[in-house]
Amino acid sequence: MNSPSNLLDDALGPIPGPVILVEDRVETSGAFVLHHLLKRSLAADAGGAVVFLALAQTFSHYDRIMRKMGYNLSAQRENKKVLFLDMMKLEYPSEHKDGLIGLYAKIQSAIESRSSKENITIMIDDISLLEIAARGSADDVLDFMHYCVALTSELGCSLVILNHEDIYPSGEEPPPTLHSNLEYLADVVVKTEPLLTGLAVDVHGQLTIIRKVVLNEKGYSASKISNFHFKVKENGVEYFHPGSQR
Amino acid sequence: MAEATSRSLRDGSLEGEHCPALTIKDSRQSPLGSHAFNHFLSSLASNISASKSQARGLVLVALSKSPAFYFNLLRSKGIDADLVRVLDCYSDPFGWKDRILKLGSDQRDSVKGPVTEFKDVKDTSKLLSSILDVGRGFVGDGKARFAVAIDSVSVILRHSPLSAVASLISTLRSHDRVSCMFWLIHSDLHEPRASSALEYISTMVASLEATVEVTEGIKNPENLFGLEQNSHRGKFQARLKRRNGRVKLLHEDFHMEQGGIKFTAVSSENTAVNQSLVPKVQFNLQLSEKEKDDRAKVVLPFEHQGNRKTVQIYDGRRSLSEGKDPHSMHLSALSAERNNETKGTGEIHYIRDSDDEAPDSDEDPDDDLDI
């Protein structure tokens, strides 16, 4: 189990921005950040609900992991606190755009049907597979993302997106991609990266959390950047400052 | 300088010239462009509501933030948003919501108070006519002009070819009802030619640059410091093109505060260098900070104070007559007052505009003169 307050929660802050982008690399999967956010969004005191767009894994996979973390996802699904959209079974019509519009319609109606629209989180695992489903059309996926982001500002819900950082071209002047567009959309970027110094037994990688300047009722919030190491364990994740681990 | 840029937007276009246009450009290295856009938006909106600007109203094309966001922004700064109309390309930019509700695609733009919904961002000619309709709609027919702000050209560029976007902007710029316009572009979301093409159409380019260069990826451990720095501050570079083709380059630093973006003169190490280069002489070549402040406070005759009141300033002649004959002075003052009441037609408004120029600058003071 995670300690009640850990470094990741501290870095994300009490109310992170409405759009959280998790960027991982092939060496360090960011799935654990997603699991953490899933648990956090469903936490009892927040009274939250989740619309989960699963493209990468099946429901039983998430269910097993959440069970290890001490959370019953199936029960939450029966309570209608989790709307699980298993996209792997979804057949896209020949015109893939209609598929995305249909998907958005599902999310919108799911959120509008709830009495309290706050504390609803839309999670997408992962967006690169949605791009593949849209036959590589990043523009269509971005249109879809625009509508999802608009939902967060209209209805006060939040959005968590997982994306892979290393599947896009890099270099001096990389061409614009889905990845660069998403970085502009996000209010909080969570990056999981391997250690600079190479592989280690006790440290699985480092997390960098960038909270951008956001305008809220109290004016502009200050930007904040946190960086720490993590170790993924059987039933939880340990977060610690570099060098603090014995 | 950020202030000179705001001033140029406020002053609007000259007869027979295209209107001033500002490109605000940022990148992922220095991603604070939207805050700079908000700064110029609020400064122009406050000038419009105090009727200090040529523009009588502002049309905001909202593509990346909701109309409610902008109204909250203006309200939080205490600016009256009555003269702002929003063309909402945010809520339903591609008509998906209508398709979900199975509405016909022939929907007219729906108008809700100051917000007009626009549902087909992919069609730039429709967008152009909607912007002009909204502008004419509230400024009224006649000669009054309005300002246009586009909060992200990047979104339009994603759906339309560069030629269509350039034509949209240059048609707006040359339109005789448009007083000034400005837009934001995320330069690294497009090919370099897209931002250069838009920079050609604009008279001013404000680009936000990173203070610390950050290389992509994880290889450099100093990146964290760079990210930290660039997330709340950066360099502001303004390029102002004058009519005669002269280009003025201005540098400033900026940082984020709770109240928004703040521009400051280039940081101390550079001014230290400048000061040591100034030869040591007996008299002052430059003004101290206090002297600059005092100079800014001087009330000039006929200066517009924004409160619709005439400024009472010392009139040398009056005191002269007072010394000679208090009685006749009293009478003349009375008659002058009566004259004011009966006539009261002539009015001179002076808006200070040249205080960014150093007193001995080689700037042509008559550059804006229209002869």
What does each C-alpha distance from B213 to A42, B141, B262 come to in angstroms? 39, 50, 21
**Does some domain include residue A119?**
yes
- Cβ-based burial of A95 (10 A; exposed 0-12, middle 13-18, buried ≥19): exposed
Mean pLDDT taken over chain A: 83
Q: What is the pLDDT of residue A5?
A: 63
**Does some domain include residue B53?**
yes
Q: What is the pLDDT of residue B370?
A: 61
Are residues B96 and A213, on separate chains, in Cβ contact within 8 Å? Answer: no
Domain tally, chain B: 2
**Does some domain include residue B319?**
yes
**B322 shares a domain with B247:** no
Q: Give the residues across from A233 on adjacent strands.
A: A236
Domain containing residue A95: CATH number: 3.40.50.300
What residues in B contact A153, CB-CB < 8 Å? Answer: 65-66, 68-69
Tally the C-alpha atoms within 13 A of residue A144's C-alpha that lie toward its C-beta: 27
Query: How confident is the model over B60-79, as pLDDT tens digits?
Result: 999 999 998 899 889 888 88
**Does some domain include residue B369?**
no
Query: Which of A184, A192, A193, A225 is the best mutation test for B, with the most CBs of B within 10 A?
Result: A184
**Does some domain include residue A169?**
yes
B residues 144-173 lying closer than 8 A (beta carbon) to A: 154-155, 158-159
Query: How far is it, in rounded angstroms, from Cα B146 to Cα B53?
Result: 10
**B216 shares a domain with B355:** no
The two tokens of residue B315 are 């009139």
Q: What is the pLDDT of residue A46?
A: 63
Name the residue range of residue B257's domain: 2-274
To the nearest 10°, report the CA torsion of A191, A197, A203, A204: 50
Lowest-confidence pick of A171-180, B186-195, B272-281, B325-334: B325-334
Query: How confident is the model over B269-287, as pLDDT tens digits?
Result: 555 455 555 566 677 767 7
Domain tally, chain A: 1
Q: What is the CA radius of gyration of chain B?
A: 25
**Does some domain include residue A90?**
yes
pLDDT > 80? residue B255: yes
**B343 shares a domain with B270:** no
**B270 shares a domain with B306:** no
Task: Give percent of chain B above pLDDT 70.
Answer: 71
Query: How far is it, in rounded angstroms, from Cα B31 to Cα A155?
Result: 26
**Does some domain include residue B66?**
yes
Q: Does A84 touch chain B (CB under 8 A)?
A: no
B residues 17-76 lying closer than 8 A (beta carbon) to A: 28, 31-32, 35, 38, 65-66, 68-69, 73, 76
**B243 shares a domain with B355:** no
**B169 shares a domain with B306:** no
Query: Which of A143, A155, A180 is the best mutation test for B, with the most CBs of B within 10 A?
Result: A143
**Does some domain include residue A232?**
no
**Does some domain include residue A239?**
no
A218 vs A21, higher pLDDT: A21
Last residue of a domain, one of B224, B251, B274: B274
**Does some domain include residue B127?**
yes
Most confident of A11-25, B198-212, B289-303, B345-359: B198-212
Last residue of a domain, one of B274, B301, B319: B274
What does each C-alpha distance from B283 to B108, B271, B274, B359 come to in angstroms? 68, 19, 17, 15
**B293 shares a domain with B264:** no
Of B32, B73, B189, the CB nearest to A213: B32
pLDDT > 90? residue B184: yes
What residues in A contact B93, CB-CB < 8 Å? Answer: 143, 146
Q: What b/e readout covers B73-111, taking b as 16+ CB neighbours within 10 angstroms?
A: bbebbebebebbbbbbbbbbbbbbbbbbeeeeeeeebee
pLDDT > 80? residue B299: no
| Cα three-residue angle B297-B321-B347, rounded to 5 degrees | 50
Q: What is the pLDDT of residue A133?
A: 82
**Does some domain include residue A186?**
yes
Name the residue range of residue A37's domain: 17-201
pLDDT band at A212 (very low <50, low <70, confident <90, very high): confident
- Cβ neighbours for B370, distance < 8 A, ≥ 6 positions apart: B14, B15, B16
Domain containing residue B117: CATH number: 3.40.50.300
Q: Check: CB of residue A26 under 8 Å from CB of residue A18.
A: no
Q: What is the pLDDT of residue A11?
A: 83
**Mean local confidence (pLDDT), A107-132:** 83
**Cα A154 from chain centroid?**
20
pLDDT band at A1 (very low <50, low <70, confident <90, very high): very low
Interface TM-score (ipTM) > 0.95: no
- The alpha-carbon gap from A105 to the nearest alpha carbon of chain B, in Å, equals 6
**Does some domain include residue A219?**
no
CB neighbourhood size of A40 (10 A): 17
A181: nearest Cα among B31, B36, B365: B31
Mean pLDDT taken over chain B: 78
**B68 shares a domain with B190:** yes
- The alpha-carbon gap from A147 to the nearest alpha carbon of chain B, in Å, equals 7
**B185 shares a domain with B159:** yes
Tally the C-alpha atoms within 13 A of residue A5's C-alpha that lie toward its C-beta: 5
**Mean local confidence (pLDDT), B100-110:** 62
What does each C-alpha distance from A212 to A12, B216, B311 come to in angstroms? 11, 18, 45
Q: Does B94 touch chain A (CB under 8 A)?
A: yes
**Does some domain include residue B10?**
yes
Query: How confident is the model over B136-156, as pLDDT tens digits?
Result: 887 877 788 899 999 989 999
Name the pairing type of β-strands A224-233 and A205-211.
antiparallel
Q: What is the pLDDT of residue A2?
A: 44
**Does some domain include residue A75?**
yes
**B28 shares a domain with B156:** yes
**B303 shares a domain with B269:** no
Query: How far is it, in rounded angstroms, from Cα A77 to Cα A85?
Result: 11
Query: How confident is the model over B14-58, as pLDDT tens digits?
Result: 888 889 999 999 988 888 899 999 999 999 999 888 888 888 889
pLDDT > 70? residue B212: yes
Q: What is the pLDDT of residue B206?
A: 92
DSSP letters spanning B122-184: T-HHHHHHHHHHHHHHHH-SSS--EEEEES-HHHHHHHS-HHHHHHHHHHHHH-TTEEEEEEE
Last residue of a domain, one of B223, B241, B274: B274
In the A/B pair of chains, how many CB contacts fall below 8 A?
91
pLDDT > 60? residue B326: no
Q: What is the pLDDT of residue B176?
A: 86
Place of tokens 């976007």: B165
**Does some domain include residue B281?**
no
**B210 shares a domain with B354:** no
B203 vs B296, higher pLDDT: B203
Backbone torsions φ then ψ of B24, nearest 5 degrees: -105, 125
